[in-house]
Structures are given as structure tokens and as C-alpha cells.
Amino acid sequence: MSKICALEYYPCITMIVMAYECANVAITMLDVDNENLHVWEARIVPFEEPDMEHMYDQVHNVRLRIGHDIAATLNDANCIVMAIDNPIQKINSEHELNLTKWEASWRRVAIHAANKLLIEKSNVPIDADKNINRIFFERGAPNYPRVLYNPDFYSLGTSYMDMRFPSQVIFGGNSQLIHGVDFLQFRNLLYWVPDNILFTYPDSKSVIIAKLGINVLLAAKLSTLNNISSISAQVKANTHRIMDIMNRNQRLGPTSLKSGIGFRGPNLLRDTQYLSQVAHDNGLPEEKQLYVKILANNRTARRRFVKMVLAKLTGMKNKTIAIFGFASSIIHQT
């Protein structure tokens, strides 16, 4: 039985699916915030996600447990999975990742599990390696961190299917680590996918930027569709027919061709904001403007929806509006 430690609240979806799929693992979820842990210990899934509650019931206290002793669990684990949600914060006019919790978690790892295989799933800065090396050096860790980057590609509302049947699984990092025994054991234990959709790259920055790029491309695609929806409404065309026609064009691909309230999902918003900031920090103002425009179009689509709802209410006042049928990701944007 291999012992996996999942550090922080964010990995819940990934770890539930892994515990459900993999029989020979014992996964312990940790969080510095005990309130988050109490929710999970009460067998409450604190978000709406199809099939996730059933999966959690199957693995809770069987292959997936909640831990409180962070130091002991880190020491005892064969492998550490880092999956911290690093939110975007706006400082002056710039968007920056808030790395407070992420750095605190890595400091604990440097003290208690410096020699373990470390799988990083968080949304991280492009120079994450430099930050992690600095933390290990400051904490007097006896060796360099053994980190592989393994971003998840899923959307809230469809994460069950996205995680169980992924189109690809990506690892990036040191070439020796990728070909080492520890990683091969981790891959065989924790991934149920066929070899032909698992890809490894000896380069962490390419993996990090590719993950950002996928979300930004999706955000741009959905933002364009929302623009088309706005135009079709203005000229009294049928939006559903337009999307149906576009959906059959093989050059565009059959997925995600549906307009909505913005481009939905906190990951798309956060990654677009962050890539805009990366362009700004690297002296690429024209490239930055592309992402600024995508974000502006997203805000316009959300405002248009609110105006439409208010117009339908005419003279009604002091009413509470319930919206049924949205994935939980919508809540982060409206």
C-alpha cells in the first residue's frame, strides 16, 4: 500500500477520483485550515459536482482520509501532491498570484519531506522552480526539491468525467526524475489512463505555460461566441441556429461552441489575468492587449445578461432572483 499525502484544500476533486480509481493507495488530505477539514470529515461535499458525492462516500475512510498532523503525515508519505489554489489579487493595476498559502505549504514540505517525490498541481508562477529552490535553501533542506509538474485539465461541473477520462495527462520536470524509479511507481499506482495519452517533458516552464495557454484559448473562444451571440440578439437572428451551423465546421472543433454568461469558470478568468500580467512583465504590451480585450469582452457578456434580467422585471422591486441550472463555476463571476 503506497501512502500519498495531498496538501491543502484544493486537491479534493483530484484526490477523490484517484482514491476511487486506485485500489493500492492510502491518500491523506491535509489543510492548514481546520474548518475546511471539518466539512469533509462530516461527509459533506462543499460544492455541486455530478457524481462526486457518491464517489466520496465510496472512498471516505477507506482509501481517502482526512489528516490533522501535518508533520507526521508528510514524514510518513511516499509521495506528496501539492494542489494549492493560488488566487489572483489586483495590486494597483496589475494582476498577481497570491502565493502566501502556497509558500507556507512548501516551507512545511522543505522541513518535513524534502527528500520525497513532489507532484505539483497548483496554478503556479512560470518561475515556480526558482521560488521552490529558494524556499528549500532558506529552510536548510539537505537536497534540491524533486518536483514534477502535473496540471489538471478539468472544468467545474464536468470534473468527474474530465478526470476519469482525460484527453491527456502531462508531467514536466527534471529528465532524470521523469525516468526514475519513484516516478514510474507513482505513475503505475495513481494513473489509470493508457500510456498513449500520458506525456512527459523535461521542461517545467513549457508545461506551466501550456496549461495557461489551453485555458486562455478556451476563454478567447467562448468570449468570441458571446460576442456573436450579442450581435445575433441585436439583429434578431437565432443564436441557437448560428451555433449549430458553426458547430459542424470541422476547423472549429465540436466542443464548447455554446455562448453563455461570460466564458465561465474561475480557472479561465484567473489564467487569462495571469497570462496578461506575464506579457506585461516581459515587455510585451501588444500581446497583453489581446488578453485585456478577452477579459473586457467577458465582463460585457456578464453585464448584458444582468441587463436582460432586469429588463424582464420591469417595475418589480425588492425581489430575490434564483437561477437554476448553472455549474458552480458561475458563482465566481456573477
Question: Which residues lie across from 212 on neighbouring strands?
Answer: none
How far apart CA 291 and CA 36 sit, in angstroms, is: 34
Report all structural domains of the chain as residue ranges with CATH numbers, in order of start. Answer: 2-202 (3.40.50.720), 211-332 (1.10.1040.10)
User: pLDDT by residue (tens digit) across 256-294?
Assistant: 556 667 766 677 888 888 888 888 888 888 888 888 888
User: pLDDT by residue (tens digit) across 292-327?
Assistant: 888 888 888 888 888 888 787 777 777 777 766 555
Helix axes 128-138, 204-234, angle to 10 degrees: 130
Query: The sheet that has 169-173: what strands, in order across it?
Result: 64-66, 25-30, 2-7, 79-82, 117-120, 146-149, 169-173, 198-201
Contact 88, 98 (CB under 8 A): yes
Residue spans of alpha helices (H) in 87-127 = 100-112
User: pLDDT by residue (tens digit) across 197-255?
Assistant: 999 999 999 999 999 988 888 888 888 888 788 788 888 889 889 888 888 887 776 55
- The residue-averaged pLDDT of 33-42 equals 76
Q: Is 101 helix (H, G, I), strand (E, B) or coil?
A: helix
Q: How many Å separate Cα 333 from the centre of its chain?
A: 16
Cα-based distances in Å from 118 to 81, 182, 222, 242: 6, 10, 34, 47
